[in-house]
Amino acid sequence: MGRKANMATIAISGAGIGGLCAAIGLRRLGHDVVVYEQAPKFARVGADINLTPNAVRALDGLGVGDALRETAARPVARISRTYDTGEETSRLPMGDVAEEQYGAPQLTMHRADLMNALEDALPDGVVRFDHRLVGITQDSGGVELAFADRESARADVVIGADGIHSTVRTVIHGPESPTFTGVVAFRAVVPVETLTGVANLDAFTKWWGPDVNTQIVTFPLNRGRDLFIFATIPQDGWHEESWTQPGRVAELRELYADFHPEARRLLSACDEVLKSALYVRDPLPSWTAGRATLLGDACHPMMPFMAQGAGQAIEDAVVLTRCVEAAEDPAEAFVPYERARRERTARIQVSSRDNAWLKDSGTGEWVYGYDAWSVPLD
């Protein structure tokens, strides 16, 4: 990436995975990038992150892949099993096979390890904490950002990487009403040394339940020393969308009492669990309005069943960086960026909702084989 003559001030709302990736890429072009984050500091929120080869290849191009490999696990396969009999219905080789086929492996890790690597790639002062965005206004020359403490800032363009409750999206499209799916998710991390009688601890394994919304997913973390457990099941009585809300281990075990003994052993090893309601949002008709655009969950929040939420935000950041590099004014890059990304993200958004991908057979090529650094741009 080369330095362009016309440098711009670019504001990013949200210091999550997508926002930090965009900041890294855009700073490498020489732009003045400021990331505004409402939290008072970075926190270790979220237990895990599953980076499939398409996401790892994108991160390699941003220069952070080596740091991730120091702590990540490399699942050897993606396995599907039936919840009651334990029958294996599909197995997709990953590990070295994925690296040879897709140019990068699958990496699974604690989310904090990814955030640390992204933070380390940015100098101090790029992220400004305690800045909760409450509105933006545009004119022909730029964007005015208003924050909750009555402070304001001005930039040439703004990127809304501010998640499922995006203020920038609300400005562009108005308030939304996400639909509760009737499904809840449980998450836990257990030391592998506490598990006995469980196979495939070095793989990504998905236990497919009796209906499309019931499942248990596991994969290794921390170079294989820990195992992440993610389970979903229909339950209308819980509506809390936060990913940090505690749940009850006894309830978790009871809800999956009809699963295979091997799957139940996983849940027996859990000492604590987090619980969250899952909401669905439809693909947006557009992401861009003038000098403002959206990225990641702000424009295409996904159900977690294909493990592509973070991956698609990372891809967004790379493609947006490439489009900005090709434009004289970053605002001119927003429509080509959206055009390059909308079809793919909408397809994954809908496919994640359907939750049938790789259940019995198939290839990961259309997801894993995507290269954000070389995909054609208009």
Query: What local confidence, expressed as pLDDT, does residue 85 receive?
Result: 98
Residue 287 has pLDDT above 60, yes or no: yes
Look at residue 283 in the predicted model and tell me its pLDDT.
87
Q: Answer whether 78's CB lies under 8 Å from 204's CB.
A: yes
Average pLDDT over residues 292-300: 96
Distances (CA, A) of 213 to 67, 134, 184, 209, 217: 35, 35, 9, 8, 12
- Which of 79-83, 215-219, 362-366 has the weakest average pLDDT? 362-366
pLDDT recorded at residue 43: 75
Q: Tell me: the pLDDT tens digits for 148-171?
A: 988 999 999 999 999 988 999 999
State residue 118's pLDDT score: 97
Residues of the chain with pLDDT > 70, as a percent, come to 97
pTM over the 0.85 mark? yes
Q: Is the pLDDT of residue 2 over 70?
A: no
pLDDT digits (tens, 9 = 90+) for 31-72: 999 999 999 988 766 668 999 999 999 999 999 999 999 999
Q: What's the CA gap between 64 and 122, in Å, rounded?
A: 11
Over residues 6-14, the mean pLDDT reads 94
Instruction: Give the span between the Cα atoms of 42 and 162, in whole angstroms.
Output: 14
Q: Give the model's pLDDT for residue 361.
A: 76
pLDDT > 90 fraction of the chain, expressed in percent and rounded:
83
What's the confidence (pLDDT) of residue 182?
Answer: 92
- Residue 45: per-residue pLDDT: 63
Evaluate if residue 189 carries a pLDDT over 70.
Answer: yes
Token pair belonging to 31: 């732009």
Per-residue pLDDT tens digits for 64-113: 999 999 999 999 999 999 999 999 999 999 999 999 999 999 999 999 99
Per-residue pLDDT band at 240 (split at 50, 70, 90)? confident
d(CA 33, CA 155): 9
309-330 mean pLDDT: 97
C-alpha–C-alpha distance, residues 50 and 229, integer Å: 12
Cα gap 40→20, rounded to integer Å: 16
Task: State yes or no: pLDDT of 5 exceeds 50.
Answer: no
Given a contact cutoff of 8 angstroms between Cβ atoms, the answer to whether 128 and 37 are in contact is yes
Pairing of strands 88-93, 77-82: antiparallel
> Region 277-281: what's the mean pLDDT?
86
Write down the pLDDT at residue 1.
55
Q: Which of 48-57, 116-125, 241-250, 266-275 has the lowest mean pLDDT?
A: 241-250
CA distance 181 to 6: 46
Long-range contacts of 264-270 (CB under 8 A, 24+ apart): 265/195, 265/196, 265/197, 265/198, 266/190, 266/195, 266/198, 266/216, 266/218, 266/227, 266/229, 267/216, 267/229, 267/231, 269/190, 269/194, 269/195, 270/188, 270/190, 270/229
